[in-house]
Amino acid sequence: MRHLFKGLLAATALTTGLLGAAVTAQAAPMVIKFSHVVAENTPKGLGAQHFAACSEKKLPGKVKVEVYPNSQLFNDEKVMEVMLLGDVQFAAPSLSKFQSYNPAMQVFDLPFLFDDLAAVDRFQRSDAGQGLLKSMQDKGVLGLAYWHNGMKQLSANKPLMTPADAKGLKFRIQASDVLSAQFDAISAAAIKKPFSEVFTLLQTKAVDGTENPWSNTYSQKFFEVQSDITETDHGVLDYLVVTSAEWWNDLPDDIRQGLSGCMDEATKVANEEALKIALADRQKIIDSGVSKVHALTPDQRAAWRDAMKPVWQKFEGVVGKDLLASAAKANAAK
Ligand code: LMR
């Protein structure tokens, strides 16, 4: 009888164990949300898609990565806040969106600081640039990678060959005090608005112009509501891929390592595509004939630089002299 009872107990334990194992095997994958504001056929869009596909391949059944482009889920004004609450796990706001997390991040917005995207890349890879990735952990934000988009152009309904051409115009800008000062410096008005509103603002002429890299101007169709784009290359619009430091550090090791490897892969994809997409989208805009693209002579560009460069001095204190010098040095290290 005793044997029979023991046997029954063992059988029950075995069944429960098997059922438990089956339940574990079928446990739902961890849902990871990546929210961003641009189109899918942009460097950030492609990087996010690659990250999702790679993660699901490397961690089969363990993670499901959902990418929400085009501000479908959140705009940049909200996404960091909800990321820290756990509603999304990854975002890649532009570098202009971090001033309240670390004022030194404003270095990236200083006009005419970087000669080109290669200089931006050198600075991002330098010790100073890498240090910024981890500089916001006390606010809960961990930077995992820089992703490029490109150098910005000015657009309006007139050519902007000299700073005086922009005088009195209203420009939509990202939520950045440096960008606001940049337009103050040329006696233009700057209005901080979310990216998702830019097309309508331009279309309804609530603003006269804006600044954007080629891929945003093309993919969001801004060129269809701006008659002229002036090739100023006056600043950079790149991204920081961020996650919640707490969420990241609490992940099981295998998942964190898998995601980290995929972040490296996705970074390569986004950064290799950025320049190609910029050139291709610039050409598509020219070919469309809808908006005219104007090149600046070296003298005209120098006049823009002279007009905007005083902004550096204004922000040197918050950004830090050393960081500013490291960023400027990236131009020389060709
Ligand atoms: C903007 O707000 O203009 C940009 O940050 C959009 C983007 O992510 O490229």
pLDDT at position 332: 84
Average pLDDT over residues 283-287: 98
* pLDDT range class, residue 14, cuts 50, 70, 90: very low
Locate tokens 């699901």: which residue?
56
Atom of ligand 1 nearest to the CA of 210: 3
The amino acid that residue 28 corresponds to is: A
Percent of the chain at pLDDT exceeding 90 = 91
Atom of ligand 1 nearest to the CA of 195: 2
CB neighbour list of residue 125: distance below 8 Å, 6 or more residues apart: none
Using the mean position of ligand 1's atoms as its centre, give its distance from the Cα of residue 305 in Å: 23
Higher pLDDT, 22 or 237: 237
pLDDT at position 61: 97
pLDDT at position 13: 47
Q: How far is CA 83 from CA 134, 140, 254, 261, 327, in A?
A: 16, 10, 22, 21, 29
Q: Are 271 and 43 in contact (CB under 8 A)?
A: yes
Using the mean position of ligand 1's atoms as its centre, give its distance from the Cα of residue 25 in Å: 41
Closest by alpha carbon to 280, among 198, 210, 221, 218?
Answer: 218
The alpha carbon dihedral of 284, 289, 169, 220 has a sign of negative
Domains of the chain: 14-332 (3.40.190.170)
pLDDT at position 19: 46
Q: How far apart are CA 231 and CA 293, in angstroms?
A: 7
Provide the 8-state DSSP code for 38.
S
The alpha carbon dihedral of 331, 265, 138, 33 has a sign of positive
Ligand 1 pocket check for 174: Cβ under 6 Å: yes
* pLDDT range class, residue 27, cuts 50, 70, 90: confident
pLDDT in tens, 110-158: 999 999 999 999 999 999 999 999 999 999 999 999 999 999 999 999 9
Provide the 8-state DSSP code for 88.
-
Average pLDDT over residues 149-175: 98
Atom 1 (ligand 1): residue with closest C-alpha?
A: 195
pLDDT at position 16: 47
Q: Are 114 and 150 in contact (CB under 8 A)?
A: no
Atom 3 (ligand 1): residue with closest C-alpha?
A: 195
Q: Kind of pairing, strands 228-231 and 141-156?
A: antiparallel
Supply 317's token pair.
């204190």
Using the mean position of ligand 1's atoms as its centre, give its distance from the Cα of residue 89 in Å: 19
Q: How far apart are CA 64 and CA 92, in angstroms?
A: 18
Residue 25 pLDDT exceeds 70? no
Using the mean position of ligand 1's atoms as its centre, give its distance from the Cα of residue 274 in Å: 14
Ligand 1 pocket check for 94: Cβ under 6 Å: yes
Residue 12 pLDDT exceeds 90? no
Atom of ligand 1 nearest to the CA of 92: 8
Q: How far apart are CA 148 and CA 278, in angstroms?
A: 10
